[in-house]
Homo-oligomer: A and B are copies of this chain.
Amino acid sequence: MIIVLKKNATEKQVQHIVDTVRGWKLKVHVSRGTERTILGLIGDERVILGQPLDIFPGVESVLHVLKPYKLASAEGRTERTRIRLPPLRKGGRPVVLGGPEVVVMAGPCSIESRELLFALARLVKKAGGKILRAGAFKPRTSPYAFQGLGAEGLRYLAEVRAEVGIHVITEVMDPRDVDLVADVADVLQIGARNMQNFNLLKAVGQLRKPVMIKRGLANTLEELLLSAEYVLSEGNHDVLLCERGIRTFETMTRNTLDLAAVPLLQRESHLPVIVDPSHGTGHWDLVVPMARAAVAAGADGIMVEIHPRPAEALSDGSQALLPKNFIKMMTALNAVARVLGRKV
Contacts and interface: CB of A to CB of B under 8 A. Distances in A.
Interface of A: 2, 4, 7, 20, 27, 29, 31, 33-36, 38, 40, 42-44, 46, 49-56, 61, 63, 65-66, 68-69, 75-76, 139-147, 173-176, 193-194, 196-199, 216-218, 220-223, 226, 229-230, 233, 246-253, 256-260, 262-264, 267-268, 280-281, 284-286, 289-290, 292-298, 310-311, 313-318, 332, 335-336, 339-340
Contacts of A40: 31, 33, 38, 40
Nearest to A313: B52
A254 B144 CA distance: 28
B316 A52 contact: yes
B49 A144 contact: yes
Contacts of A246: 218, 248-250, 256
A22 to B, nearest CB: 15
Contacts of A145: 49-50
Contact of A293 (B223, B252, B296): B296
A253 B260 CA distance: 8
B52 A310 contact: yes
Most buried by B among A7, A27, A295, A339: A339
Contact of A35 (B31, B44, B194, B289): B44
Chain B CB count within 10 A is highest, among A174, A230, A286, A289, for A289
B50 A146 contact: yes
